[in-house]
Structure 1
Amino acid sequence: MRRGGRRNGGRPGRRTGDVVIELRPAAACELDVVALGEVMLRLDPGESRIRAARRFEVWEGGGEYNVARALAAVFGHRAGVVTALVDNEIGRLVESLVRQGGVDTSLVRWEPFDGIGRRARNGLNFTERGYGVRSALGVSDRGATAVSQLAPGMIDWDDLFGRRGVRWLHTGGVFAGLSPTTAEVAHEAMRSARAHGTVVSYDTNYRPSLWADRGGPDRARAVNAELAAHVDVLIGNRSDFPGDPPDPIGPPGSGETFAAAAALLAADLPGLQVVATTRRTVHSAGDNDWQGLAWSRDAGPAASVLRPHLPVLDRVGGGDGFAAGLLHGLLTGEDLATCVELGAAHGALAMSTPGDTSMASAAEVRALALGGDAATRR
């Protein structure tokens, strides 16, 4: 995606809404979108606490995967996930859950199980939803997971993006933060994707626990800067990058300061076309103000309706829901204002149900994005 430019053999960009985006023809690709990231097994104690739980409900989830799953299950796109799992009963449970979400599992790299997980293991994520003054809590058990050991050369990206064909690659800072080699894999995937005309999106999605022993936020910002040079659509803030940025949020109900920060970021990244973020003010675990913001070189700034005091059942996955709705709009040719409304509406609906993944329908998302409410439907 490049304003006024061409890539992939001189093929002209296709205008989608008010954003110029170079999308490969759907008929020439096996998949519309591929996510590169970790898929963990989430264990949810429901209304209880992890420390006091006697039973857990299981879901699958992961920052990058959640986007692909929503694009498949909610919006009907052909989606796949590039990840790695250990070939044991836990890995096969994760695979089954991914398939139930309509996501292609043919790109999963399976690693042999050594009996106890000494060499590689599958990630677990214990997550409390929070309530009132008690915040949501995530306790990850993901050290030495199979996907964290991916290294350059293990995935044949040219076969995926060239022979099979993919219209859109999505990855993010969660995957890049798993290990030093996963950032290199993300870089390798992005370069191949762009060489074959595949659009690339990246969500900075900073997780302090992933960077605690790897240089902290400064190293995360440096990795973001390295990868963003290959990105068309960026989800995050100017503060996720090195430098001394202006306030990325600005006054409530306004996207003006965000737009200035996005334009400043894009000035350093000539290939970047769209920047988007979410604004969340937490009054309590179940009471959040919620809004989506976006900016593009062609359309300028756009802001969704501000939803003050949005009731939240489970906030985990709300940002991924925003990303999925935004990407769906860009994939289907909506203007930027509609894209950001779809993203904010989908994120809001995703937070109304338990688990990382969305249970919304495309019709519900569009109705809410266009001004609908929670009135009973019969």
Structure 2
Amino acid sequence: MKLEMKENCAYSLVSPTSMGLRITPLYQQPVHVSDHFFLQATSAESNVLTVSAALGERVKALTTFVKDSPIAQLIKNDLRKRNIEFEGKEVPQGGPWGYRHQINIADMGYGVRGPRVTNDRAGEVGRTLSVDDFDLERIFDKEGVRILHISGLIAALSPETGKFCLELAKAAGKYGTRISFDLNYRESFWKGRAEELRALFTEIASITDILIGNEEDFQLALGVQGPEAGGENISEKIESFKGMIANVQRAFPRASVFATTLRQVVNANEHVWGAILLASGNVYVAPPKP
């Protein structure tokens, strides 16, 4: 079945997100010995929006900001440079121990020293995102959206953002917007909340049109059986990945497009990447390559 898109829409892609900063040591040095860092305004979801915006599509981030914060202004300026429109409530900081934008500290690794990401997210303003902060009828009906993209990161960020993502998906479906869900499982986000988040992710996936994840995502977030996560000789396991996608399709029949990435880590400097897509009953394979 071909995936038909809503026509006459203001936006090709809209995504909820919690914007923050990513700081990376220069020259692939470890964090603890570095004194020069590259700073970016970023989020997993805005990365997706950036690609579509670069291709000339009109996109929007649904987010929230710390009021009168220079970091919030930096983030807004960066989104504008990427041609990403944004909409969101401005939340008072509430003093020096109040709200802030999260910081992602990324050691890229080198050779046998693996990459390491440290999340510094206490007081993250994005955890307060609520459906009450947005006019969903205006966004999805009057303006119109072709695709709503939801990431498992924002869905798992807090109970509030989980509810927000679910209500967004329901509203999108009501007005004919297609829903894309990238599971993006993160163990640290799920700690102590596995049962709650499994139920949430299953409900969102059940009303999704486009379902994306790797072997770890599908197994740990949705309980769908698949190949061993992070294995070697990934090129020899294509059939097992196809089998996993078939299992996902049976479990979530409303979706019509399924995608998974194939990844094998050689070392911090070299990864083998591929992908599998199931759409309109056809399977497409991008063979793993360095």
**Does TM-score exceed 0.5, indicating one fold?**
yes
CA displacement, residues 233-284 of structure 1 (integer Å, 9 cap, x when unaligned): 0111431444461327795155322222222222222211111111111110
State the distance in 1 between where 2:112 and 2:225 align. Answer: 31
Question: For 2:163 and 2:133, how far apart are their aligned partners in 1?
Answer: 11
2:64 to 84, 88, 103: 84
1:196 equivalent in structure 2: 175
SS at match of 2:248: helix
The alignment status of 1:144 with 2:123, answered yes or no, reads yes
SS at match of 1:42: strand
Contact 1:84 1:111 survives alignment (8 Å): yes
Q: Matches of 1:170 and 1:21 in 2, distance apart?
A: 15
More strand per residue: 1 or 2?
2
Q: Distance in 1 between matches of 2:180 and 2:225?
A: 22
Following superposition, the deviation at residue 141 of structure 1 comes to 1.1
Secondary structure (helix, strand or coil) at the match of 2:284 reads strand
Is residue 89–residue 133 contact of structure 2 (8 Å, CA) maintained in 1? Answer: no
Aligned partners of 1:39 and 1:60 also within 8 Å = yes
Residue identity matched to 2:4: E
**CA 49–251 in structure 1, closer or farther in 2 if over 3 Å, else same:** closer
**Counterpart in the other structure of 2:212:** 235
Q: Once superposed, what is the RMSD of the aligned Cα atoms? A: 1.9
Task: Work out the CA distance in 2 between the residues paired with 1:254 and 1:70.
Answer: 29
Aligned to 2:274: 291
Q: How does 1:34-113 map to 2 (within 5 A)?
A: 34-47=14-27, 48-73=29-54, 75-87=55-67, 88-105=69-86, 107-113=87-93
User: Is 2:114–2:268's contact at 8 Å kept on the other side of the alignment?
Assistant: yes
Identity of aligned residues (%): 27
**Alignment deviations for residues 281-319 of structure 1 (CA, whole Å, 9 cap, x no partner):** 1110011111011113x2332111321xx2xxxxxxxxx
Matches within 5 A, 1:175-190: 175-190=154-169
Query: Could you tell me how far apart the structure 2 residues matched to 1:149 and 1:65 are?
Result: 18
Whether the aligned pair in 2 keeps the contact of 1:235 and 1:276 (CA below 8 Å) is yes
- d(CA) in 2 for partners of 1:40 and 1:253? 39
Q: Tell me what 1:23 maps to.
A: 5
Residue 167 of structure 1 aligns with which residue?
A: 146
| AA partner of residue 155 (structure 2) | A
Deviation at 1:97, TM superposition (A): 1.0
- Structure 1 gap segments, 5+ residues each: 4-19, 311-378
Report the 3-state secondary structure (helix = DSSP H, G, I; strand = E; otherwise coil) of the residue aligned with 2:13. strand
Report the CA distance between 1:76 and its aligned residue.
1.7
Number of equivalences: 282
Distance 1:144 1:155 in 2: 22
| Aligned equivalent of 2:239 | 256
What one-letter code is carried by the residue in structure 1 that aligns with 2:201?
A: N
TM-score (norm 2): 0.91
Distance in structure 2 (CA, Å) of the matches to 1:78 and 1:179: 28
Quick one: distance in 2 between partners of 1:184 and 1:63?
A: 19
